[in-house]
Structure 1
């Protein structure tokens, strides 16, 4: 069996790394399973792309479609045209897509039009907010794909409610957490740690990139001012997304406690998450990592597609009004936070369950190791 694995943007890379590792383990155990890794090029900044392949020990992609840049429509079209050619030139029995970026939706549409099965990793999550491009990507992908690998019971219920047969839904857990566990002892202390004298638990970490928070320079600066006024004398570390950088530069906002940096590699960034007093973000994925690491997290959004990080984990959904942060920041400064636990199956073995399911569903044969080695040579 040949699986085409699609990775297009930074979150995808963390999700495919353990899947590739599990495929390689299955090959070692004699299963007739091969993969082709396709990078769509949706993220083309080095810090947002190639560093992740190097640090997470992901093999060089078999193909890079170079489809980054442009509007949503332009990017979707470029990915579809190039991925169609990729599949026509390289046989595939199954396309495996992950997450909810543009590449996920675009490659799913192409594969299904070519009558190729698609499996969606992280299927069924919903925010209920159709103004988010990611929500449209999720909805479209899950309408037409064939197998659904889910991170939570809530995601299962979303799929059942939309009419997906239960035998197509596979509750396996979260591959992002596989990557976290596999790299927790490999984290890299960033250079700024010593440069600005950071210490465990003595700083806040911020990430912001969503239009509702960053596209209005006045709103962005007000948000940062609220955070700075409510965090005592603690440093605020802010790896700045390229989208946010444009707004910050236009506003000319600076503060001695606001430590602005370029986007970081995965191993450096998770080092900062693991040692922070708390994280303030508008990302979805980071709320999963803070939950497993036990770090308080405040999410500046009105909805979340990962409600288990709120109901079970360390996350609180704050909304987009900066003033909503105040009571939560006060609790954090006092060392008070809610009880939390880790969601079911977020145990580091998700990718193994995914590959075991694919082997079972597609009846992939187990070939004696000597014979398999001869075939591979």
Structure 2
């Protein structure tokens, strides 16, 4: 049976990659990776470290306005076409992007079961994160199978009326991904990161990793975050800051204006995934508004300051691995100081998003959905 895995952004591809690898080794299920084209180049980059390439690319008209309506209008006919041609037994969508919402709609209209990877995350505030919270909730209304990363996510789904038998708690496949890449211990490919790593080792310094990419962080919130970074550098002479900046020209200009030329601050292009994993392992502290990094950093015991007012990943805060600080300059700088001084310490409780077996558990749930039993295993093995 073909199971289509749909990715349009780097985070989607990273979280689908372990599932694709698990299916490649399966006797009865065959993964078909489809690139929606939402973020051209980024999906390919994310899949490459896992030895994966997309099996199909959607034929979507070039975007002019960059708006959500334009993207959905281009995606839906292309998705309808690829689903009709491949006729998969199920479509797996991940998370909360426009690709995810459009894919769920197109499959639902064709009667193809929708499997929602990373289901049940909620802030219960449609404005934060926007538009992701709305996309997540809408996909939950259409999904035939909900692969929830945590018990809390499963409880959120049940409270919305989703039947228990349609939910499987699997952990998050990003933990599978980060463990696989970390085990390879690849040297840094990014020149700036490689030089920074040598400087830190020679001088006995500490690394603070900063990322900020969400649309609601742009402008004034980012300005406050950048002011906090300036304070952290000024108050901690043994700290080096690494800031992989968002490719949006306005965001990059804002980061460069605030941090460019500042001693002990390195601004780079977005890092390839193995380099990001390396930076997470090296870091003494992470400041981020990224959902993925909130899930990845606890694997290495790296404390996280979440640069958002609310997070749909409450487990990481409740476990004592992260602190929700918003974008208030003083609060960011003060909490960072307490962590860097050792006054605050992250709880060493392991990763609340799993142990690296999420893909195997997800495949087992998909088997059950599709009725892949022992006889089909036997037949597939024999053929």
Q: Tell me, yes or no, if structure 1 residue 270 matches structure 2 residue 277.
A: yes
Q: 1:234 aligns with which of 233, 239, 242?
A: 239
Give the C-alpha shift of residue 251 in structure 1: 6.3
* Counterpart selection for 1:301 from 300, 308, 312: 308
How far is 1:323 from its partner?
A: 1.4
Measured against aligned partners, the alpha-carbon deviations of 1:222-260 in whole angstroms (never above 9, x if no partner) come to 343233334334110011111321433566844122101
Displacement after TM superposition at 1:371 (Å): 5.9
Aligned to 1:98: 94
Pairing partner for 1:215 from 207, 216, 219: 219
Counterpart Cα distance in 2 of 1:236 and 1:157: 38
Map 1:112-191 → 2, pairs under 5 A: 112-131=108-127, 132-190=130-188, 191=191
Deviates more, 1:245-254 or 1:306-315: 245-254
Pairwise CA distance, 1:263: 0.8
Q: Secondary structure at the match of 2:25?
A: helix
Give the 3-state SS of the residue equivalent to 2:350 in structure 1.
Answer: coil
- Residues in 2 aligned to 1:299 and 1:240: alpha-carbon distance in whole angstroms: 17
TM-score, normalising length: structure 2: 0.89
Output the CA distance in 2 between the equivalents of 1:344 and 1:253.
36
Tell me if the contact between 1:210 and 1:282 (Cα under 8 Å) persists in the aligned partners: yes
C-alpha distance in 1 between matches for 2:136 and 2:377: 39
Structure 2 residues not aligned, in runs of 5+: none
Do 2:170 and 2:361's aligned partners in 1 also have CA atoms closer than 8 Å? yes
Task: For residues 30-85 of structure 1, give each alpha carbon's deviation from its aligned partner in whole angstroms, at most 9, with x where no partner exists.
Answer: xx2222111111111x4x33222211222x21111264752122112212121111
Q: CA RMSD in A?
A: 2.3
Q: How far did residue 210 of structure 1 move? A: 2.2
Distance 1:160 1:277 in 2: 37
1:234–1:50 distance in 2 versus 1, CA, 3 Å: same
1:339 and 2:347 aligned: yes
Match of 2:200 among 198, 203, 207: 198
Shift of the 339–35 alpha-carbon distance from structure 1 to 2, 3 Å rule, reads closer
TM-score normalised according to structure 1 size: 0.90
CA offsets 1:70-128 (integer angstroms, 9 cap, x no match): 21221122121211111122211111111211111110011101111101010000122
Contact 1:10/1:52, CA 8 A, preserved across alignment: yes
Number of matched pairs: 368
